[in-house]
Amino acid sequence: MKVAKPHVAVLPNMGLGHLIPHLELAKRLVVHHGFHVSFLVITTNEPSAAQDRLLCSPHLPPDLHIVRLPPVDVDKIILDNDDVLVLTRLCLITSESFRSLKSVLIDIGKPKALVTDLFATQAFDVCKELSIPAYLYSTTSAAFNAFMLYLPKLDSEVKCEFIDLPEPIQVPGCSPIRTEDLLDELRNRKIDDYKWFLYHVSRLPLASAIFINSWEDLEPMTIKSIKENPLFKQIPLPIPPVYPIGPLIRQEETLSSTTDLECLEWLDKQPPDSVLFLIFGSGGTLSFEQQTELALGLELSQQRFIWAVRKPTDTAGAGAFFHAGEVNENDPNVYLPQGFLKRTHGVGLVVSSWAPQVSVLGHPSTGGFLSHCGWNSVLESIVHGVPMIAWPLYAEQRMNATWLTEDFGIAVKPKMEAGETVIRREEIERVVRMVMEGEEGKVMRSRVKELKESAAKALESESCSYASLSGVVNHWKTALN
Residue among 7, 18, 33, 200 flagged as catalytic: 18
| H-state helical runs in 384-463 | 397-402, 425-437, 439-458
**164 annotated active-site:** no
Buried b (16+ CB within 10 A) or exposed e, 397-417: bbbbbbbbbeebbbbbbbeee
Three-state DSSP at 421 gives coil
Q: How far apart are CA 410 and CA 444, in angstroms?
A: 5
One-letter amino acid of 289: E
Q: How far apart are CA 382 and CA 448, in angstroms?
A: 6
Q: How far apart are CA 324 and CA 141, in angstroms?
A: 22
Q: For residue 70, give Cα distances in angstroms to 44, 91, 96, 170, 408.
A: 8, 16, 10, 43, 43
Three-state DSSP at 377 gives helix
Listing DSSP states for 350-361 in one string gives EEES---HHHHH
Q: How far apart are CA 204 and CA 87, in angstroms?
A: 17
> Residue 172: how many CB atoms within 10 A of its CB?
18
Q: How far apart are CA 226 and CA 215, in angstroms?
A: 13
Half-sphere exposure of 303 (CA within 13 A, CB side): 32
> Across the strands, what pairs with 37?
8, 64
Measured between its terminal Cα atoms, the distance across the chain in Å is 18
Q: How far apart are CA 53 and CA 59, in angstroms?
A: 11
Q: How far apart are CA 454 and CA 25, in angstroms?
A: 19
**36 annotated active-site:** no
- 298 exposed, middle or buried (CB, 10 Å; 0-12, 13-18, 19+)? buried
Q: How far apart are CA 474 and CA 477, in angstroms?
A: 5
Residue among 33, 36, 117, 181 flagged as catalytic: 117
Is 221 in contact with 173 (CB distance < 8 Å)? yes
Q: How far apart are CA 28 and CA 470, in angstroms?
A: 11
Backbone angles phi, psi at 189, to 5 degrees: -75, 0
Host H or E run for residue 263: helix 258-268
In this structure, are strands 114-117 and 242-244 parallel, antiparallel, or unpaired? Answer: unpaired
**Nearest alpha-carbon partner for 64 in 34, 28, 32, 27:** 27
- 149 exposed, middle or buried (CB, 10 Å; 0-12, 13-18, 19+)? buried
Residues labelled as active-site residues:
18, 117
